Amino acid sequence: MVADVIIETPDTTTLVLFTGNDRLEYLAGHFLTIDPHQFESLERFISFLEDLKGKREPPRAYSMSSAPHERYLAVTVKEERYVSGTTKFPPLLSPLLVKRTLRGMRLIVTGFTGPYTLGPDVNAQTDHIVHVCAGSGSVPNFSMLKFALAHHPRLRHTFVYSNKTWDDVIFRDELGRLAAQHPDRVKVLHTLTREENHAVFGPAVRRGRLDQALLREAIPAPDECLVYVCGPGISKFDVAAAKASGAPPAPRFLESVLGDLKAIGVPDSRVKREFYG
Ligand SMILES: Cc1cc2nc3c(=O)[nH]c(=O)nc-3n(C[C@H](O)[C@H](O)[C@H](O)COP(=O)(O)OP(=O)(O)OC[C@H]3O[C@@H](n4cnc5c(N)ncnc54)[C@H](O)[C@@H]3O)c2cc1C
């Protein structure tokens, strides 16, 4: 049952889920899935999309923004946009989860799974976790950060977070609070690509795209840290569209960060990644 609905940003909502007495065994970084067919209000839209696409609409994955030691389960969803001339189909599920889900509603969720987690040997591998995220890509990293602060006291974290504007930053206050509470263990570096208010910029809030210079600053010892990268990457739809046009698909956040990490000398074995299509 949806126990609470927290508006994080104009297009992002956290759904806090009450699951009765079920034991919730998940790892920070895991995701659950939500099948859009369970929502009666989507029935006609789904039939129409399935006719157009010629296939059944699959369940959508959502990472937990809660951490396993917290009382409630929570997911944080960013609404996908339909951009005329760019997006092939209107997004199906995220608009409903973000804008039309009310406290008291019941959802069927399936989980929990995913390889994007802190391994059991994380302390043997490093004392510095570098989170590199864009948009809703911060969701699993936020869960890992909260969990590690509570359960891995030896780990330090640098959280590098790219967004369009200051108002798009999900968990902005909470990240600030964690950095203030753990000054020796948490450093947050924001970078904003389209912010026009000069007043928001400062040492912890940079201007522009995430680049090698910022990553170098966040990663002083490239072969000693573990980097967790999460955000949008080239989707199978981008690949198909590129094939049709004859040009290679343009790199998105994930590909561009992976290239930059390689360029600054972070071994691939020290980079974990989660792709949000
Ligand atoms: C492991 C994982 C974890 C995730 N965690 C989160 C999270 O924590 N928070 C979050 O907000 N999101 C998360 N996502 C993304 C999420 O699963 C959904 O992809 C997102 O919410 C969009 O779903 P939608 O139904 O709104 O849009 P969709 O209906 O899936 O549409 C999304 C885009 O794909 C295009 N598209 C769809 N079908 C086709 C097709 N057949 N041909 C061409 N283009 C097509 C649409 O035009 C649109 O641009 C995660 C994804 C993964 C893989």
Average pLDDT score, the chain: 96
Quick one: pLDDT band at residue 85, thresholds 50, 70, 90?
confident
In this predicted structure, the answer to whether residue 161 has a pLDDT above a threshold of 80 is: yes
Q: In the numeric block, which tokens belong to residue 114?
A: 């995913």
Residue of 49, 50, 88 with the most ligand 1 atoms within 8 Å of its CB, for mutation: 88
The overall longest dimension of the chain from CA atoms, in Å, is 55
Residue of 93, 133, 141, 235 with the most ligand 1 atoms within 8 Å of its CB, for mutation: 93
Span 50-67, pLDDT tens digits: 999 999 999 999 999 999
d(CA 121, CA 123): 6
d(CA 25, CA 272): 22
In this predicted structure, the answer to whether residue 22 has a pLDDT above a threshold of 80 is: no
Q: Are 34 and 107 in contact (CB under 8 A)?
A: yes
Neighbours of 40 (CB within 10 A): 7
| pLDDT value, residue 227 | 98
Taking CA atoms, 200 is separated from 102, 127, 162, 171, 194, in Å, by 32, 31, 14, 16, 12
pTM, two decimal places: 0.97
In this predicted structure, the answer to whether residue 241 has a pLDDT above a threshold of 90 is: no
Residue nearest to atom 38 of ligand 1 (CA): 89
Percent of the chain with pLDDT over 70: 100
| pLDDT value, residue 49 | 98
d(CA 63, CA 219): 25
Residue nearest to atom 6 of ligand 1 (CA): 62
